[in-house]
């Protein structure tokens, strides 16, 4: 049975992991006969957003602790990730990928990547294992791997930033998956497009199906 590592970036679209994308990815993995374990870096969030008003709040939260809400408490610090125990790694989206796992939201192509994320991605890439990224999280892969083909949908500014990091961007619509066979990278746009939860579920199922197929 194939085993996925899912890396979260908090809990909530505006300051952490996108909950629909994370949950439907878990569902898709189980539905297609595989297992998963959930990871997150043990770091402070960049900030906390009130998801009703969209405004920052005067408090601090921890990415690992917040991600544990989605994981129902069953979560592992990303610093403990071991590449030999997993067949694939997956990054749901949400602004946490651009604020907590990296500084892309602030620095664009000049962003820095969290060291635990960097180590996990580069080690999986070195072993030739599938790397999946939803929504905005392909920017992490672009920054770390450079020359790779991927998608974030149709957002022109983000696509330009990805190409400045040395990657090739491909425009996509709902549920479409871009596969880079040379790097074993799989990406799908999800909420980078104006999507319904049905379309998020379709994207999650399609990317997991493609990643599993590559392991056969």
- Cα atoms in the 13 Å half-sphere on the side-chain side of 96: 33
Query: pLDDT digit string (tens) for 16-36?
Result: 999 999 999 999 999 999 999
Q: Please give the Cα distance from 4 to 9 (Å, whole number).
A: 16
Active site residue ranges: 135
From 57, 40, 161, select the one nearest 97 (Cα to Cα): 40
pTM for this predicted structure = 0.98
Task: Read off the pLDDT of residues 127-137 as tens digits, 9 standing for 90 and up.
Answer: 999 999 999 99
**Which CATH number belongs to the domain containing residue 11 in this structure?**
3.40.50.880
Counting residues of the chain whose pLDDT is more than 90, the rounded percentage is 100
Q: Which domain holds residue 59?
A: 3-214
Cβ contacts of 141 within 8 Å, gap of 6 or more: 91, 121, 131, 133, 148, 150, 167, 185, 187
| pLDDT tens readout for residues 65-86 | 999 999 999 999 999 999 999 9
Total of domains in the chain: 1
Provide φ and ψ at 71, rounded to 5°. Answer: -80, 0
């Amino acid at each position: 049975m194939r085993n996925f590592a899912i890396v979260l970036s908090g809990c909530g679209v505006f300051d952490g992991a996108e909950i629909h994308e994370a949950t439907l990815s878990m569902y898709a993995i189980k539905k297609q006969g595989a297992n998963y374990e959930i990871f997150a870096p043990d770091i402070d969030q960049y900030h906390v957003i009130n998801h009703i008003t969209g405004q920052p709040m005067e408090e601090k939260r921890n990415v690992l602790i917040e991600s544990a809400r989605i994981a129902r408490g069953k979560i592992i610090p990303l610093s403990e990730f071991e590449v030999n125990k997993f067949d694939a790694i997956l990054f749901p989206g949400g602004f946490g990928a651009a604020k907590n796992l990296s500084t892309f939201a602030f620095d664009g192509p000049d962003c820095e990547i969290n060291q635990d994320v960097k180590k996990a991605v580069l080690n999986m890439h070195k072993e030739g294992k599938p790397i999946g990224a939803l929504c905005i999280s392909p920017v992490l892969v672009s920054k770390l791997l450079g020359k790779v083909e991927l998608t974030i949908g149709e957002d022109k500014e983000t696509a330009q930033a990805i190409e400045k990091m040395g990657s090739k961007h491909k425009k996509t619509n709902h549920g479409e998956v871009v596969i880079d066979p040379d790097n074993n990278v799989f990406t799908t746009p999800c909420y980078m497009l104006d999507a319904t939860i049905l379309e998020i579920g379709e994207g999650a199922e399609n990317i997991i199906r493609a990643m599993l197929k590559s392991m056969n």
